[in-house]
Structure 1
Amino acid sequence: MMKKAMILAAGLGNRMRPLTNHRPKPLLEVAGKPLIVYHIEKLVAAGFEEVIINIAHLGFMIPETLGNGSRWGVKITYSDEQEEGALESAGGIVKALPLLGDEPFLVVNGDVWCDYPFDSSFDLKDDLAHLILVQNPDHNQKGDFALKEGRVSNSGVSLHTFSGIGYYSPRLFDDLPYGKCPLAPLLRKAIADEKVSGELYGGEWRDVGTPERLAEINATFR
């Protein structure tokens, strides 16, 4: 069983301005509830015991809003990047590794909206990562990765979009120094080494990257 999950919540949210001028993106609301709270509720329901959240842009507002997680029956720990500025996805995970420990863990982007069922019993076996892919949205029609018989590849006839949800072994980040670092090149190397499995999720998933997309989701809930 995986006990720990990480929510990536340190992004600057530039494409979300002016909504993110005074509030970090994961605290933007769908149907009156912050995006990040939907993730926390689902992680708790799936059996995760601790949630690590990295914070940067207006990051102090996230602990102020969420506290220590006791109201959901989970432990919330914060990895603070406010001094450095956001370290990007892989850099943020590297900084949080002491909190994440030696066992595999789940990572989810704080700015996606989905009904994907997180799975604390997921077994990575010998792989370094397992990626959740989705059908290509309008803003990423070319896709990111191919999928064949449960294995992810960097190229193929049909490419799917990486959802921002993945299960990772800490070994994936072994050789990464502390500092700013994107996740995609790291994943592509592990994929080239045939160390990444994946699945195509067909349920509800949206990247809440712009005010228009947030408004669309909220309109659905009205």
Structure 2
Amino acid sequence: MPPSREVLPLSRNERGKQLLAARLYRDFQAMKTYGKEPESLESIISLFTEALASFPPEQIMQALTLHAQRSAEFPTPADIVGLIKRNGKPPLSQAVYIAIQKKAGEDRSPEDWQYLREYEAQQREEFEGPRDTRQAEEMRQENRRLHTELTELRKECNRLAKLLQDARVAKGIEPPVLKDGDKVRATIAAMREAGAPAEDIEQFAREHGVSVEVAA
């Protein structure tokens, strides 16, 4: 099975930028521009390239074709963004949204409620900014990689610390590290030597799960 081809956004696709510029030049010549001069085409192409940077060139071309089928007017970047985000459906209109808002709730159809939800979702997205799903996935993968490396690093640090401790104990630089059970028994022995009451010793042993007989 051949590997899937990575779909690059316009911002990372130089060939796509060239195709977009050529397409806009052609449409500018063929569609109604309402007084726009050819000299403005350079800035128009720059604006489209910036506004559509996060979308794949294939989607942009499809949206431009769809717009040309529906309108004789040269599009704006917002027209194309709307077609892409709404999968070819007509762009959401603020005027329509306001008209639906003025209706009483019981008079709104299911389509009206859906329109309100879609319009409000679009406004939230525009306020928060577009989400780069590719960048988010790369960040998640990088976080997982760093987490794995950190876990392995901790294991290696613990291993080296244990080797160093064993070496220092072997050379007599440090006393052996007692395990928890050994520490409890050593404490009980010290309590006995200090003349601690038997009930205190028994209570300490019970709290640490060691019988006084075993600790003796």
Q: Which has the larger radius of gyration?
A: 2
Comparing both chains, which one has the higher relative contact order based on Cα–Cα distances under 8 Å and sequence gaps of 6 or more? 1
Which structure is higher in helix share?
2
TM range, smaller chain = under 0.3
Normalised TM-score (structure 1): 0.24
Normalised TM-score (structure 2): 0.25
Which structure is higher in strand share?
1
